[in-house]
Structures are given as C-alpha cells and as structure tokens.
Structure 1
Amino acid sequence: MSANTASGTTLRLTRYAHGGGCACKIPPGELERVLAGLAPGVPGDAAGTLLVGLETGDDAAAVHLDGTGIAVLATADFFTPVVDDPYDWGRIAAANALSDVYAMGGRPLVAVNLLAWPRDTLPLELAALVLRGGLDVTREAGCHLAGGHSVDDPEPKYGMAVTGIADPDRLLRNDAGRAGLPLSLTKPLGVGVLNNRHKATGEVFPHAVASMAALNREASEAALAAGIRCATDVTGFGLLGHLYKLARASGVTAVVDASAVPYLEGACEAARDGFVSGGTRRNLAWVAPHTDFGGADEVTRLLLADAQTSGGLLLAGEIPGAPVIGELVPAGEYPLVVR
C-alpha cells in the first residue's frame, strides 16, 4: 500500500519533515545536558519499586510491582516520516516503539497512538494509512492498540506509547555488561543513509523498509533463552552512540571489529555518495572524544554512527543468527575502541 496507489496522490511525506525517522532526535549530548540533575520522583504512595529510570538512559522505564513477579515497562517513541509510503511509515514507527520493550526483555501488552498531522496540508486519508500500518504491526506483536492522542501540527509525526511486562529478575539492561562477553547485532546497519538517499532522490529500498518494519521479538526471546542480561536497541544515536551508553553504564570498554559489522545492501555506497544525515554527524561528534578509531576511515566512522530507525538489538552475548561484532573488555583509556 503506498501514497500513490492507495490515495491517488503523488505526495512525498519525507518532503514535509525537516529530519527523518530517529535521525530527528535531539542530539545525545544536548539531551544529556537537559536531563542532568533531574532525579526520578519517588511518590510516597507509589505502587511499586522503580528498577530502571533516567540514570543510564536505558530503553524503557521499569517498575517492579511489589509482592509480584512482574515488572511493568513503559516507553514512548515517535518521529517524522522516514519513508514516503504512509502505510510503511506506520509499520516502521510501531515496530520502533515496540522495540524498546523487547530491548528490555519484555512483552508489549498495550499501545496508544501518538499522531501529529498538518490537517490543512496533508489529506487525512494518508493519516488513516499511517494508523493502519501501526495497527497491523501491533497485531503481529500480539499487542493491544487502544486509542491515543492527536494534535494539529505543521509537521507530521507518528509513534506510540507502549506498556509491557517483564520478569524483574531477567530484565535486559544497558548497565549489565561485563568484561569477557561478546557483542552481537541482530539487524544490519545502514537504514539511515538509505533513508536519506530515499528522501533526496525518491529511490525506494524495500529491503531497508523490511528491516525497519521487522519486530525484535524473536531476538529478545532468544536473548532471554540464552541467559543474556545486557542489551539495548540501536536507533537514533547509532551503533556507537548506544554502545557508548552501554559501556559507560556497565563500566567496561567496548571493542568493535569494524570488518564484522553487517550492512544493508547499498548502505556503504550511499555513505560514500554523501547521503549522511545531520543526526549521524552529530552522533559521530558526540562519541569521537570517547573513541579510539584506530585506522577506521571516515565512511566507516559515519556508518558506525549512522542514525538508525527501528534497528536491531545489540546484545552482550550470543544468539543464533546474530553476528558477533566485538566484545566487552575491562575498562581502558577509551570506552569505545574500533579495530
């Protein structure tokens, strides 16, 4: 289903957005300055114990319901159009929001829509296609979708707030990494540069859409079955950005074997041709002072920092089918090392 065939229009949604997908996030360094000093609130009558909050910038909040074996997970994620097809955008945004729950080792229970729409500029029929894409992916995930919130906005945005549950003793956390563990990645990198090429040229990359719309459910379940305890997903801050947060929170150094990192077909060419988002360049600028890049060239650095939308899980451990791209070692001079 596409903007052309389903609505009879030739509108390109990406033309209505200043950024694209998770590349439109506030830069990580700026965000950390905004959040600095904001201690989590502790209500006196809170119905549970906060297990994961702001401290490590993990993928979702987690609250242990006292007296039960249940942790409630809460997250929200939304962004501007990453592709022109409204149905695909909805699918991708839903998979991306659900990924935060999977990245914590949880199961999504219920989601609500978050929709911003320029109602005087873009037909509401396209918004309906976006919502349909989100609905279909939540059905695939076995997650209820019930209502949401919408606003009239000059720039289209879509995503979801998601609530899930997990075993509080088996959470996947970004602060649980230990030296000696391998690093695995469950989806190839490169959707950022391919999406940027799509926005600039109109070229369509079905394999990138398929990667972004794929749920991280099976990878999460495999990680739990393998006894893995440390994970995050790779989204707007790029592989290096999310890995830096993991290494910093865990008190280790992460070593990346650049030659082992998988990329989507056409990603390396798109990076060499200059289809690099501002978000990716900001990611690289943020991690550069904390990274020993060795002999890695500029294209490799940009791809490792490429702002992903609905990327894969980054695991401190091994699961079937996921390539090992590096390892965690005792903390050294740099939190990140690229070889």
Structure 2
Amino acid sequence: MKTELKSVAEAVRSYGGVLRKQPIKEIFEKLSLTHQYGTQLPNYGDDAAVIPWKDGFLLLAADGMMTGLLANEPYAAGKAAIMVTVNDIYSMGGRPVGLVNVLASGDNEQRSLIIDGIQKGCRKLQVPMLGGHLHPDAPVQHPSLSVAILGWAKNVLRGHLAEAGDDLVLVVDIRGQAGCHSVVSWDANSGKSSEELLHRLDALPLIAERGLALAAKDVSNAGILGTASIMMENSGKGAEIDISAIPKPKSLDLKDWLLCFQSFGFILAVKPEQSMEVLSIFSERNIAAKVIGHIHSEPVVTVKQGGESETLFDFRKDEITGISV
C-alpha cells in the first residue's frame, strides 16, 4: 500500500510546475555566455539578476504569465503579474523601484481586464508601472503578458548560498484562501491592506540588512518542496525535510498545499544560531515561519514523516533546472 509520504514524493517529482523547469538548463548555458559583457554577479538560478551599483545592488527580474491563466482569468493574471515580480525582488533582500510590461491582446474586454488587474496589483503593492509595449492584434485565445521589474538592495539574499549545517526555514501566510481556478494557488493577499502586505514583505530586506541569512528563494510554481529542492540544486547541497513541520491551512489537503503556488511564501537557509531571530521577525508580522529541515553536503533531498523517509531528488543523477554552483 502506498503511504502518504511516497504519494507526496511522487506527486512533486511528476508535477508540471517542477517539470516545466527542465528546459531552463539549455537556455542558461547558451545565454550565460553573454555575461562577459556585464558587471553583474554570477547567477546560479537567482530570482533576479544582481548588478553592483554604488553602495548596493540593482536587482533586475522578469516574469511571464501562463497563457491559460490570461485567457481564463485575465483580471487575476494582471494582478498576479505584479505580485510575482515584486516577490522576486523582496526574496533577494531588495525593494522595488518600478515595472515595465509587454502585453499582447487583441480583444478589448480581455485587455481591459488585464490592465485593471495590473493597476490593482500596483496600487496594492505600491509600485509604479513605468511603461511598456502593446501588441493589440493577438488572438483572444493566445494573449501574453510579461513584466520586468527593477529593484535595489543594500545586501542581497541569493538562491545558491545554502550551506551544510544551515536550518531550512519555510515562511508562509496561512491566513488566506484558494486562489485562481486555472492554477493550484493560495491567495494570502486579498483582504489585506497595502500597509500589511508591505510590512510583511519588508521582513526579507530586514533579514538581509541584519546579516541573518545569505540564501532565500520565493516559493514558485514548483511549490514548497519543489522550490526547496531547487535551492539545494542551485547550491550543490541536499536537505532532509520534515513534512510534519510544514505549516498548513486546514482548508487544503497536504498534497495540494505542498504543490500550490504561494502569493507569500519563501524558503530561507539560516544558521541555527540565527534561526530564532529570523522566526521572530516573521512571527511579529503574524506570518507562519518554521524550521522544516536541515541542509547537508550530500546533494540529496529527502522527505520524512514519522519514522518513514523517502528520497525526493538525488542531484547526482536528477535535474530540475540543471543549474548548480
């Protein structure tokens, strides 16, 4: 009989949000050859590019919305485009400066809903949309939206700097509800004020500026375990993750929760002696933050529950993004 842990591990390994990362390796290998022309820091799967600038760092990121979400829920897609790019900047220890977009939509109603969603997202997260480009003749079945964001950080959190001996910390806001219908997601933004959302997000640059962590990643469409595993892959490390330690809302079953996209979710690697301070920063903001595992040098991610253990990824033979230090 298949146990819950084995079922979860199989679901994560076969999840579309994880499998869709596989083409990244070829693109990364080709385009990273152009890095010789810039002054940016090396990128091993970060949520944003890092460019030294004056007494800090410029952060540059971009996201594209899935076609199905745009076609089925255009207003929600517009909001999500702002949320995901803003989260990318905060996950790196930065704060947003501004956004630009490229929108393709040939249907007036669809385009209006997307723009209304973008406007709502910008107002909610208090970041300006500074410009962009429009293709007004795309078929209604095939809209597209990409958003780029510029941010700035005094100190940065990187996706590849997890070290053996670190605690693996999960940060999520379980005060929310199921999100978009087109993707498995958790909406912890609706019903909260701009001040509350920004206070919550500002915990990340605060942690970076205090030197309490070096590594962090935004929980992407790979889900909680997928994102934690990508951090391990990028860092050339492994981890043992305790499923029972993961904070979870009562309204979702375990498998759905572990796979869903988070409107506010981050994975951090933290020295054990600094974990309590990091957890308290989030606790003060009414955010669930827990040590869910420990990082080790062997590049294998295992999940455990009770006395049972299951290998999730063995990066000596497995790849998600194929990017590692």
Please report the TM-score for the alignment, with normalisation by the length of structure 2: 0.69
Task: Return the alpha-carbon distance in structure 2 between the equivalents of residues 134 and 27 of structure 1.
Answer: 25
Instruction: Name 2:104's counterpart in structure 1.
Output: 116
The amino acid across from 1:327 in the alignment is G
The amino acid across from 1:64 in the alignment is P
Instruction: Name 1:258's counterpart in structure 2.
Output: 243
Judging by fraction of residues, say which structure has more strand. 2
1:236 aligns to what SS in structure 2? coil
CA contact (8 A) 2:73 2:182 kept: no
Residue number among 60, 72, 83 corresponding to 1:74 in the alignment: 60
1:335 aligns to what SS in structure 2? strand
CA-based RMSD:
3.6
Q: Return 5+ residue gaps in structure 2 as ranges.
A: 1-14, 271-277, 306-325
The amino acid across from 1:73 in the alignment is L
Instruction: Name 1:162's counterpart in structure 2.
Output: 149
Residue number among 121, 129, 132 corresponding to 2:113 in the alignment: 129
Identity of counterpart residues, as a percentage?
25
Q: Return 5+ residue gaps in structure 1 as ranges.
A: 1-21, 269-298
CA contact (8 A) 2:167 2:294 kept: yes
Task: Return the alpha-carbon distance in structure 1 between the equivalents of residues 18 and 145 of structure 2.
Answer: 13
- Listed one character per residue, the Cα deviations across residues 291-337 of structure 1 (whole Å, up to 9, x for unaligned) are xxxxxxxx64x653x15154411112333223214233322362344
The amino acid across from 1:127 in the alignment is R
The amino acid across from 1:116 in the alignment is A
CA, structure 1 residues 116+187, in 2 after alignment: closer, same or farther (shift >3 Å)? farther
Task: Return the alpha-carbon distance in structure 1 between the equivalents of residues 81 and 50 of structure 2.
Answer: 22
**1:335 equivalenced with 2:316 (yes/no):** no
Please report the TM-score for the alignment, with normalisation by the length of structure 1: 0.66
Q: How far is the alpha carbon of 1:165 from its aligned partner?
A: 1.2
Which runs of structure 2 are paired with 1:233-252 in the superposition (5 Å)? 233-252=218-237
CA, structure 1 residues 61+332, in 2 after alignment: closer, same or farther (shift >3 Å)? same
CA, structure 1 residues 157+25, in 2 after alignment: closer, same or farther (shift >3 Å)? farther
CA, structure 1 residues 24+240, in 2 after alignment: closer, same or farther (shift >3 Å)? closer
Instruction: Name 1:185's counterpart in structure 2.
Output: 170
The amino acid across from 2:149 in the alignment is V
Query: What is the number of equivalent residue pairs in this alignment?
Result: 267
CA contact (8 A) 2:61 2:150 kept: yes
The amino acid across from 1:312 in the alignment is G
Residue number among 319, 324, 337 corresponding to 2:290 in the alignment: 324
Q: How far is the alpha carbon of 1:205 from its aligned partner?
A: 9.3
**1:315 equivalenced with 2:268 (yes/no):** yes
Residue number among 26, 33, 40 corresponding to 1:50 in the alignment: 40
The amino acid across from 2:156 in the alignment is L
Task: Return the alpha-carbon distance in structure 2 between the equivalents of residues 137 and 160 of structure 1.
Answer: 12
Task: Return the alpha-carbon distance in structure 2 between the equivalents of residues 232 and 209 of structure 1.
Answer: 19
CA, structure 1 residues 234+337, in 2 after alignment: closer, same or farther (shift >3 Å)? same
